[in-house]
Structure 1
Amino acid sequence: MLYDLIMHHGLAYAFLLNLFRYITFRAVAACFTAFFLSIWLGPYIIAKLHQIQREGQPIRALGPERHLKEKAGTPTMGGILILSTLLISTLLWADLTNGFIWIVLFVTFGFGLIGFFDDYKKLAKHNSDGLSKRTRLGGEFLISLVATYFLQQLTPSGMANDLALPFLKNVLIPLGYFFPLFGMIVISGFGNAVNFTDGLDGLAIVPVVISFFVFALIAYIVGNSVFADYLQLHFIPKTGELAIFCAAVIGAGLGFLWFNAPPASVFMGDTGSLSLGGAIGSVAVAVKHELVLCIVGGLFVIETLSVIIQVAWYKKTKTRIFLMAPLHHHFEKKGWAESKIVIRFWIISIILGIIGLATLKLR
């Protein structure tokens, strides 16, 4: 909004206003805007959620026993705080004529809406059962397919249906008509992967922030012809603007962590986890770094695989591989303190983020 106003009125070269021409300046501004908005709005939103929900998020009866005592009464739907602040920040600082921005926002808020109804149904029924799997996945698949289609239209025709491989330069695998299906799996898959990871105070939001930090850099580089050529990456015009969206998510995420740090005053709920997962998936598809996301977001992948393996193995043998899935609950059952699990998972996420960044140079 600010960028468009300045550019529309020809003020881009005026004193100080020339800074608005730089993505780096607007990304930093978007991050700080979202963070301080979160700190300002957080107490009000949390108080409202407490007032509306009263009993807080329904705690899964089959989950770790201590959750029934320690986390009872904590409100959910904190994703509303994340979504509202990142939206305001993105609209203020991003180029609103950029199609990539609107597609990623479409996915973010589409998934957020699904998560909102899922959280609402849990609260209305006073148990941990939300939307049916068919309804939830159907909505996610539809949103992901639509988003992937429009991302294809914005991508140069020579690589619109191609899959880039990390560590290999100038290598593209043509997926043809299967690319929309692939994009759908990436976006909806990461939406649910972040959702699986969101189970302890602060556990999901820090890896989310790390992932968006890495992809803010990737989007900026891929959208810059000079940097992309130097690093031998595939140049995709206008994706640099996604760095501003990523920065807004980082600021909103850090602001949310202020209230979600142990002991949490609010949970993000499916409203937050689904929207953030879908958002990072859509950014990865836009910048053609889907497989790099599997590295950077490896923690989310591991948590998801633990659930898939547990369910498949139990159906086959009626026994369990893990004491409980997702994986963080397994370590809870083993007696690990919540803070130890969370911090160690953060460390793993940082290491994976560094490896993901290394793929930009090691080619």
Structure 2
Amino acid sequence: MRAILLGGGLALLISLLGTRWAIRGFTRLGYGQEIRDDGPTTHHTKRGTPTMGGVVIILAAVSGYFLAKLITLDPPTASALLLIFLFVGCGLVGFLDDFIKVAKQRSLGLRSKAKMVGLSLVALTFGIVSLLPALADDRELTPASRHISFIRDYEAFTLPAFLAVLLIWLMVAGTSNAVNLTDGLDGLATGASVMVFGAYMLVNIWQNNQSCDLTPGRTCYDVRDPLDLAVVAAAITGACFGFLWWNAPPAAIFMGDTGSLALGGGLAGLAILTRTELLLLVLGGLFVVVTLSVMIQVGVFKASRASGLFRTVFRVKAGHRVFRIAPIHHHFEMLGWEQVTVVIRFWIVTGLCVAAGLGIFYAEWVVGY
């Protein structure tokens, strides 16, 4: 428990102070954000705001974790190291994307195929290594599982190894891109991430207290290294909290793809390693809604242009758009909502999703598995 407090506190302090230094450094280097021309016109005033602040989040979280382990003289576990690998690896892909944006002054950064290749390499490496029998503990638990899970593994659904790795890849790619899509307003993705990572810290602490090693029974949790995963979750939570001081509206710095892809990868990794893969859909409900808004917008737009039957059935014109602009947070801006209003209300939605997810998690334990 001391490591959790140390990891979160140190990461918060490093992030809070380091982000201030990063704002000055990136401003001096001219690493400013390029703004989409097809987005809300109010965002044009943000052009030139320092970006790549996700570098600070990653460094603060990783430093907080390893300093906590050093102070407590507790060695890192395989699960925590794998989670950090995924977190940093996805962040590195985002860093390359951000660097191309600021170096070539191109708002789209890496080509979508190149970004997906990078994320796939990181995700597949994570998936394969996390399922290796060589990393199993005394109870033969590997960091990840070949079972589908909601609150815990469903033993009846055992996947072949290649399908399990494919599912891990899908989760990492989907979640990292979901957080990336959400990172469109000052503080929105950062504040939401604080709540979801904080929820996973509580989940990990509970799983450790009710571990099958400590309290064998029907409701115990077969999760490898839950307490160490809680330290990583606390460190990322603290790093996001410190960064939010500078990223809250009006933002003095953006996390960029460096931060959003890293945070998305971290969330996917926690869901996989804690055997709560489907629970992430509830805890991260905001990210799901934002992603669905983009999928609906693109799907309806293309279908209405390509199919006369679709236009007839749904009584829409060719090129119909469900939202004024996607993702959905920009839609509310176009309706006249102030940016800070959208952010705060979406934070409230995230809080409700987290409360629902934790409630479901606890209720399952109370009722009994």
**Normalised TM-score (structure 2):** 0.87
Determine the structure 1 residue equivalent to 2:312.
Answer: none
Check 1:30–1:231 CA distance in 2 against 1; reply closer, same or farther (3 A cut): farther
Quote the residue 1:91 is aligned against: 66
- The structural deviation recorded for 1:355 is 1.0
CA distance in 1 between counterparts of 2:236 and 2:223 reads 22
In structure 2, relative to structure 1, the CA distance for the partners of 1:230 and 1:208 (3 Å cut) is farther
Contact 2:150 2:275 (C-alpha < 8 Å) held by counterparts: no
Secondary structure at 1:163's aligned position in 2?
strand
Select the residue among 150, 156, 163 that pairs with 2:148.
Answer: 163
The one of 42, 46, 70 equivalent to 2:19 is: 42
Q: What code does the residue aligned with 2:299 have?
A: A
Alpha-carbon distance in structure 2 between the residues aligned to 1:181 and 1:150: 13
> Corresponding residue for 1:26?
3
The one-letter amino acid paired with 1:127 is R
> Is it true that 1:245 corresponds to 2:222 in the alignment?
no
**Residues 1:266 and 2:253 aligned together:** yes
What is residue 297 of structure 1 aligned with on the other side? 284
Contact 1:59 1:127 in 2 (8 A): no
1:134 maps to what in 2?
113
Partner of 1:361: 362
Q: Tell me which amino acid in the other structure corresponds to 1:67.
A: H
CA distance in 1, matches of 2:291, 2:270: 20
2:322 match: secondary structure? coil
User: Percent identical across equivalent pairs?
Assistant: 36
2:262 maps to 1:275: yes
Distance 1:231 1:263, change over 3 A: farther
SS in 1 for 2:361: coil
Aligned partner of 1:183 in structure 2 is 168
1:73-124 Cα shifts (integer Å, max 9, x gaps): 2110000111111111011113444111111111111111110110111112
Note if contact 2:148-2:154 (Cα within 8 Å) is conserved in structure 1: no
2:85 corresponds to 1:110:
no
In structure 1, the partner of 2:55 is 80
- 2:44 corresponds in structure 1 to 68
Of residues 229-238 and 337-346 in structure 1, the stretch that sits farther from structure 2 once superposed is 229-238
- Would you say 1:306 and 2:283 are equivalent positions? no
Separation (CA, whole Å) in 2 of partners of 1:120 and 1:89: 25
2:202 and 2:56 mapped to 1: Cα distance? 25
CA distance in 2, matches of 1:264, 1:250: 19
Q: How far apart are residue 217 of structure 1 and its match?
A: 1.6
1:203 CA displacement = 0.4
Q: Which amino acid aligns with 1:327?
A: I
**3-state SS of 1:30 partner:** helix
The superposition leaves residues 289-325 of structure 1 with CA deviations (integer Å, 9 ceiling, x where unpaired) of 0100111001001111111111111112122111001
Partners of 2:57 and 2:242 lie apart in 1 by 8
TM-superposed deviation, 1:230? 6.9
Counterparts of 1:318-329 in structure 2, within 5 Å, are: 318-329=319-330
* Distance apart, 1:172 and its partner CA: 4.8
1:5-38 alpha-carbon deviations (Å, 9 max, x no partner): xxxxxxxxxxxxxxxxxxx211111111111112
Corresponding residue for residue 205 of structure 1: 190
Q: Which amino acid aligns with 1:354?
A: A
Structure 1 residues 47-91: Cα deviation after superposition (integer angstroms, max 9, x where no partner): 00111126x20011110001112x122110000111111111011
* Deviation for aligned residue 1:129: 1.5
User: Per the alignment, in what secondary structure is the counterpart of residue 44 of structure 1?
Assistant: helix
- AA aligned to 2:265 is G
Change (3 A) 1:231 1:268: farther
Q: Cα offset for 1:332?
A: 0.6
CA RMSD of aligned residues (A): 2.0
C-alpha contact 1:228 1:235 (8 A) present in aligned 2:
no
Flag the 1:47–1:283 CA change in 2: closer, same or farther, 3 A: same
Structure 2 residue ranges without an equivalent (≥5) = 305-318, 365-369
Contact 2:147 2:153 in 1 (8 A): no
Q: Which moved more, 1:342-351 or 1:226-235?
A: 226-235
Please report how far the alpha carbon of residue 170 of structure 1 lies from its aligned counterpart in structure 2 after TM superposition: 6.2
Match of 2:179 in 1: 194
State the Cα distance separating 1:356 from its structure 2 match: 0.9
Asked if residue 214 in structure 1 is aligned to residue 199 in structure 2, the reply is: yes
Secondary structure at the aligned position of 2:224 is classed as: coil
Letter in 2 for 1:81: V
Tell me the amino acid that sits aligned with residue 360 of structure 1: F
Q: Distance in 2 between matches of 1:161 and 1:169?
A: 9
